[in-house]
Structure 1
Amino acid sequence: MVITLDMSSIASDATMRRALTSLSTTVAKSKRVVVVTGAGISCSSGIPDFRSSDGLYAFVKAKYPDVVMKGRDLFDAALFRDPTSTALFYTFMAELKASIDLASPSPTHHFIKTLDTKGKLLRSYTQNIDGLEARVGLACTSSEDAKSPGRGNSKIKVKGIKNIQLHGDIHRVRCMLCAAETKCDAQHLQLFREGTPPDCQECKTRSEERRARSARALKIGTLRPAIVLYDESHPLGDDIGTIQTSDLKRKPDLLIIMGTSLKVHGLRKLVKEFTRVVHEHKSESGKVIFVNKTPPATEWDSIFDYYVSGDTDTWVSKVLEDWKKSRPQDWEIQKTLFAGGATEQKLMVVKRSATTGTKAKLHKNNNSNAENIPPSPLPFAGESLPTPPVSPSKRKSNNDPVECSPSKKRGGVLRPTVPASERGALFTIKKTVSVTELVSKMDKPILRTSSKEELDDVF
């Protein structure tokens, strides 16, 4: 059963206010958040949405009253079959891009970026083609940095992309023949306003190279806005499927759906798959939050946990306010003061020891910066001691500076020499004693002949 929370009754209903505060705490405590957004998050930026009374469809009918064409038909792939509908499509997309260029990101866009900055955003999936997520600093699938440089099957880098553009990007154009993509510039925009598609430069270059070799010229394709229309497959569909599978394996604990009516079949399937994974948490901490001005259909009653009725910008402002009050440690910033009054802000990183018990107490008593102190030098590290030579003759000349030649003298610390008269005391002096002298000195006669080794033992 979905719980409905009305943003308009915060000031008068204390129970509703406490429930919204509790929901904000759930968002603040989450670790892996998946966000799904629609055109409703860009309404405050000045971009009309698709299905409301003042949305994009109503805008089309007011601007082109003589054209008998439904709003959905304007974004259907079948429009390229008719030259009139094709020209109308190009003109309308040029005016839509001009209005998007004047828009600025909404608080909801900045909230998604805040989730990414705090390390909580697993991925953002958007139906919007305005590219406002890229302006707040989120890496999108259409950015140049997301293109894969390799020759494999993947066209984009899976790692590092935080915003998946399910319906493409209006700020880029794609060739209808060779599928080459490039940035939409002022020249492209001017031709689109006139209802004429510009030619593809990649096709022109290849055709001219073939003509220079006297080969047959190739057909030159035309450019169109790089958006995904109804009944049209996404050029990066395989890569997006790989990213979605990877996100499902990482077990997100919170799913936030904002500003969409969930009418597209592919998006409905995506939301149901993420909802199933979020609700699989054993602690039942995973929640699914739906934020929109209009309530969801009855089929979502058993899927959504919360329905927040109101504007997305108002709700995200409430979440950030409660988040800063309940968990101020998530918003601590370390400031460094420099000379002249300049300051530098850095995130405060708290280092905690993983040891416990007696080892933790020993670490607590020691200096916390002990690992950053260089070891003290040894007491004799600065002295250069001479290396003794290997040869005995060279060792003698090395110790005696008198007998040493100037070329063999070694530098370093000179040791004190021993006088020549006292050098004999360092060695054992053996005397040659005859057997007759030995017998005369002994009281008893020798009964046997002694060997030389035995005579040496006597002395």
Structure 2
Amino acid sequence: MTSNSHMLTPPPTLEKVDRKNLSQLTDDIIDGKLNKNPNRLVPKSLLPQLIKVDKQKKPRPYFTLKKNKPAKNSVLIIDHLIHNHDKNDKNLKFLTSVLNDCSNIIMITGAGISTHCGIPDFRSNENGLFKSKIQKDNKSLFDINSIYSNNEQTLRFNKLITNLHKLSQDNEPTPFHHLINKLSSQGRLRRVYTQNIDALELKLPSFKLNNPTEFPHLPSKPPYPQLIQLHGTINYTQCNKCHNIELLNPHDFIHNDETELVPNCIQCQEFEEVRQIAGLRSKGVGKLRPKIVLYNEIHPEGDEIAKIINMDTKSKKIDCLLIVGTTLEIPGVRQLINNLNKNLERQRTMGKFVVIFVSNELPSNKILKLFDDSGIDLIVHGDCQMLAKLVR
């Protein structure tokens, strides 16, 4: 057998180059040409591909375009600019860049994103449930210590639940909801923390459940879902005894002479019938309540949500915090924002992380204090539905 048959080294892929002619070699590379001089040391096959990749560099991300960076706490009146097609406004350019170029977005949403389809919010001066002139104590209808304190309160609570459930079932996602879906489908949305219980997000393709009859429990470890419902959902009920979760049936909460003010759990009733036939003692029948989180009660999935928030607040990859349609009155939500802002303070200084606040009402001093000296990069004053027109 010849020595060639035992060759251990591959054939050479480089050609020698005369060091005196390195400047000429550089010129050839820039031009994308390869001079087949036997004295050159040039990769035969890799160099053309490298030159091609170099010419196809992606444009720089938005945060390097400092010419559009607004002063802190700048206000953009979105309705006026979009209606007048003023695309040259510096703040509008910045907002458009953020919405189209950010690649790791965390969004915190409130009831303001759903008022477009007639679902009321809680604290707005115009239509907020807590600002109602007819019922001044509506806030008590979301307090676990109040709603079952007497028959009148329970009846009011049941009526509120059936109305909200009907609004949720009858309405479709708003243009802003579809913006959320677009960001998700583009792979640029890290998480949505929603304070809403209307569950309109679950009608979007990106968040639609494979089996709506099964409640989507949060996992105890990654991967975590993109949508986190901080206050539960109006779509389900849960038994206070056996903890069974079922789709909410509004007829259970419509009172007549034959129904209980607080509906019984059907699963518990079936278990009781079996125990009675078997001659076993009764264990009682549980009561149903909507699967929403009320004031003065512990969140049933609080531990799982805390893990997700902890992971997100420690991430250095987040490049945008988008706060939409909320007055940030809930302490836990304010704490989430405060932690994000502090942990990403260095990224903000470098221009790699921005905060956008969108609302029909200007942020209060309480909200501005959350961001300390760094402030809010842009306050968008107006209808959040307008933002959907800016995303490509």
Q: Fold conserved (TM > 0.5)? A: yes
Q: What's the counterpart of residue 247 of structure 2?
A: 183
Q: Report the Cα offset of residue 83 of structure 1.
A: 2.6
Provide the rounded CA distance (Å) in 1 between the counterparts of 2:260 and 2:357: 39
Q: Report the Cα offset of residue 278 of structure 1.
A: 3.6
The one-letter code sitting in structure 2 at the alignment partner of 1:244 is: I
Given candidates 279, 300, 303, the residue that maps to 1:235 is 300
Q: What's the counterpart of residue 49 of structure 1?
A: 121
Provide the rounded CA distance (Å) in 1 between the counterparts of 2:215 and 2:272: 29
CA deviation digits over 1:133-167, x for unaligned, max 9?
Answer: 0001343899666746xxxxx76675251111111
Using a 3 Å threshold, how does the CA distance of structure 1 residues 195 and 170 change in structure 2: closer, same or farther? farther
Greater Cα shift, 82-91 or 204-213? 204-213
Provide the rounded CA distance (Å) in 2 between the counterparts of 1:139 and 1:192: 37
Q: Report the Cα offset of residue 272 of structure 1.
A: 1.3
Greater Cα shift, 3-12 or 88-97? 3-12
Q: What's the counterpart of residue 272 of structure 2?
A: 207
Is 1:93 aligned to 2:161, yes or no? yes
* Alpha carbons 2:214, 2:246 under 8 Å: kept: no
Q: Report the Cα offset of residue 179 of structure 1.
A: 2.5
Identity over the aligned pairs, expressed in percent? 29
Provide the rounded CA distance (Å) in 2 between the counterparts of 1:14 and 1:109: 24
* Alpha carbons 2:113, 2:176 under 8 Å: kept: yes
Using a 3 Å threshold, how does the CA distance of structure 1 residues 145 and 99 change in structure 2: closer, same or farther? closer
Is 1:70 aligned to 2:140, yes or no? no
Provide the rounded CA distance (Å) in 1 between the counterparts of 2:324 and 2:151: 36
Q: Report the Cα offset of residue 50 of structure 1.
A: 0.9
The one-letter code sitting in structure 2 at the alignment partner of 1:86 is: T
Give the match's secondary structure for 1:81. Answer: coil
Q: What's the counterpart of residue 218 of structure 1?
A: 283
Q: Report the Cα offset of residue 40 of structure 1.
A: 0.4
Provide the rounded CA distance (Å) in 1 between the counterparts of 2:350 and 2:101: 14
Using a 3 Å threshold, how does the CA distance of structure 1 residues 60 and 82 change in structure 2: closer, same or farther? farther
The one-letter code sitting in structure 2 at the alignment partner of 1:202 is: Q
Q: What's the counterpart of residue 414 of structure 1?
A: none
Given candidates 121, 126, 134, the residue that maps to 2:194 is 126
CA deviation digits over 1:84-134, x for unaligned, max 9?
Answer: 212211122112211222211101111111110000110000111100000
Aligned pairs for 1:387-398 (under 5 A) are none
Provide the rounded CA distance (Å) in 2 between the counterparts of 1:289 and 1:188: 42
The one-letter code sitting in structure 1 at the alignment partner of 2:302 is: G
Using a 3 Å threshold, how does the CA distance of structure 1 residues 222 and 61 change in structure 2: closer, same or farther? farther
Aligned pairs for 1:308-319 (under 5 A) are 308-317=380-389, 319=390
Provide the rounded CA distance (Å) in 2 between the counterparts of 1:144 and 1:196: 24
CA deviation digits over 1:308-357, x for unaligned, max 9?
Answer: 0011001232x21xxx3xxxxxxxxxxxxxxxxxxxxxxxxxxxxxxxxx
Q: Report the Cα offset of residue 236 of structure 1.
A: 0.7
Q: Return the TM-score normalized by structure 2.
A: 0.72
Using a 3 Å threshold, how does the CA distance of structure 1 residues 12 and 198 change in structure 2: closer, same or farther? closer
Unaligned runs of 5+ in 2: 1-71
Q: Report the Cα offset of residue 206 of structure 1.
A: 2.8
Is 1:25 aligned to 2:97, yes or no? yes
Give the match's secondary structure for 1:161. Answer: coil
Relative contact order: is structure 1 or structure 2 higher (C-alpha 8 Å, sep ≥ 6)?
2
Q: What's the counterpart of residue 348 of structure 1?
A: none
* Alpha carbons 1:139, 1:146 under 8 Å: kept: no
* Alpha carbons 1:146, 1:156 under 8 Å: kept: no
Q: What's the counterpart of residue 296 of structure 1?
A: 363
The one-letter code sitting in structure 2 at the alignment partner of 1:165 is: Q
Q: What's the counterpart of residue 112 of structure 2?
A: 40
Calculate the aligned-residue CA RMSD, in Å. 2.8
Provide the rounded CA distance (Å) in 2 between the counterparts of 1:57 and 1:304: 28
Provide the rounded CA distance (Å) in 1 between the counterparts of 2:242 and 2:117: 34
Provide the rounded CA distance (Å) in 2 between the counterparts of 1:55 and 1:195: 31
Q: Report the Cα offset of residue 191 of structure 1.
A: 4.8
Give the match's secondary structure for 2:385. Answer: helix
Q: What's the counterpart of residue 2 of structure 1?
A: 73
Q: Report the Cα offset of residue 175 of structure 1.
A: 1.3
Aligned pairs for 1:197-346 (under 5 A) are 197-251=262-316, 252-281=318-347, 283-301=350-368, 302=372, 303-317=375-389, 319-320=390-391, 324=392
Q: Return the TM-score normalized by structure 1.
A: 0.62
CA deviation digits over 1:271-301, x for unaligned, max 9?
Answer: 1112223433263220010000111122443
Give the match's secondary structure for 2:92. Answer: helix
CA deviation digits over 1:210-231, x for unaligned, max 9?
Answer: 3233211111111111111111
Using a 3 Å threshold, how does the CA distance of structure 1 residues 46 and 240 change in structure 2: closer, same or farther? same
Provide the rounded CA distance (Å) in 2 between the counterparts of 1:304 and 1:59: 27
Q: Report the Cα offset of residue 27 of structure 1.
A: 2.5
Is 1:136 aligned to 2:204, yes or no? yes
Give the match's secondary structure for 1:280. Answer: helix
Q: Report the Cα offset of residue 207 of structure 1.
A: 2.3
Q: What's the counterpart of residue 364 of structure 1?
A: none
Provide the rounded CA distance (Å) in 2 between the counterparts of 1:241 and 1:140: 24
* Alpha carbons 1:87, 1:195 under 8 Å: kept: no
Alignment: residue pair count: 310
Q: What's the counterpart of residue 102 of structure 1?
A: 170
Q: What's the counterpart of residue 111 of structure 1?
A: 179
Provide the rounded CA distance (Å) in 2 between the counterparts of 1:95 and 1:12: 38
Using a 3 Å threshold, how does the CA distance of structure 1 residues 179 and 280 change in structure 2: closer, same or farther? farther
